[in-house]
């Protein structure tokens, strides 16, 4: 092949590759959905999504944050802990269980909740006074951290409510668990 014929072949191959990539990108499109707001909300922050199209997050207003679950054609506001006024949902599993954090009278505490249920506090480790949950797997095991005078430690809360300290990497003084899967792995 002469130089110009080779250039034309390369040009055609590049055009075919671009066309194939464009077609593939268009086939894998996404749909933007307006989730609305809660009555007091100025904006919403989505923190978690499950395989059923339900999302969890928080509505933000001048009065603070309020956790919510949205999906199945409705938006449900989550409550707060006793004497609290703030909640944030961070993760939702396929059963519709949500975890996050809410303030109580004296500190932030992790919680687990369902669409129609009250917040169930996930207690910190013995001697600690605060906790936050960041993820929940299909089995209902939640992960996050517990904090107090001894520092911050990654924890897992089992479905039965027991809390287990996960430890700290050598050379570090604190740890937090931000995700977990159904195989029991925690990051």
Residue spans of the domains in the chain: they are 1-30, 43-167
The token pair at 64 is 């603070």
CA distances from 140 to 68, 93, 96, 136 (A): 18, 8, 10, 6
Pick the most confident of 10-14, 28-32, 83-87, 123-127. Answer: 123-127
* Fold designation for 43-167: Neuraminidase (2.120.10)
Nearest to 135 by CA among 49, 43, 35, 45: 49
Ramachandran bin of 143, using left for φ above 0, alpha for ψ from -120 to 50, beta for the remaining angles: beta
Residue-level pLDDT at 118:
80
Q: Is 70 helix (H, G, I), strand (E, B) or coil?
A: strand
Nearest to 66 by CA among 120, 103, 121: 103
* Tens digits of residue pLDDT in 43-84: 778 899 999 999 999 988 777 788 988 887 888 888 889 888
Q: Is the pTM of this model over 0.75?
A: yes
Could you give the percent of the chain with pLDDT greater than 70?
81
Residue-level pLDDT at 137:
97
* Tens digits of residue pLDDT in 95-145: 999 999 999 888 999 999 987 778 899 999 999 999 999 999 999 999 999
Looking at the predicted structure, is the pLDDT value of residue 31 above 80?
no
Strands annotated E in 42-179: 43-49, 55-61, 64-71, 74-77, 87-92, 98-103, 108-113, 120-122, 130-136, 142-148, 151-157, 163-167
How do 98-103 and 108-113 pair as beta strands? Answer: antiparallel
Looking at the predicted structure, is the pLDDT value of residue 177 above 80?
yes
Residue-level pLDDT at 56:
94
Average pLDDT, the chain: 84
Contacts of 31 (CB under 8 A, 6+ apart): none
């Amino acid at each position: 092949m002469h130089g110009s014929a080779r250039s034309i072949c390369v040009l055609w191959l590049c055009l075919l590759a671009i066309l194939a990539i464009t077609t593939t990108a268009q086939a894998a499109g996404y749909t933007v959905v307006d989730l609305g707001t809660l009555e007091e909300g100025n904006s919403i922050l989505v923190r978690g999504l499950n395989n059923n199209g339900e999302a969890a997050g928080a509505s933000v207003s001048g009065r603070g944050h309020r956790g919510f679950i949205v999906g199945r054609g409705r938006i449900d506001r989550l409550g707060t802990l006793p004497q609290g006024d703030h909640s944030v949902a961070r993760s939702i599993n396929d059963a519709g269980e949500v975890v996050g954090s809410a303030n109580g009278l004296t500190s932030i505490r992790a919680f687990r909740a369902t669409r129609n249920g009250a917040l169930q506090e996930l207690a910190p480790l013995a001697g600690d006074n605060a906790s936050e949950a960041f993820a929940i797997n299909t089995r209902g095991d939640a992960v996050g951290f517990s904090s107090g005078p001894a520092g911050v430690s990654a924890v897992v809360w089992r479905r039965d409510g027991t809390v287990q300290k996960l430890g700290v990497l050598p050379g570090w003084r604190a740890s937090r668990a931000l995700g977990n899967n159904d195989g029991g792995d925690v990051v």
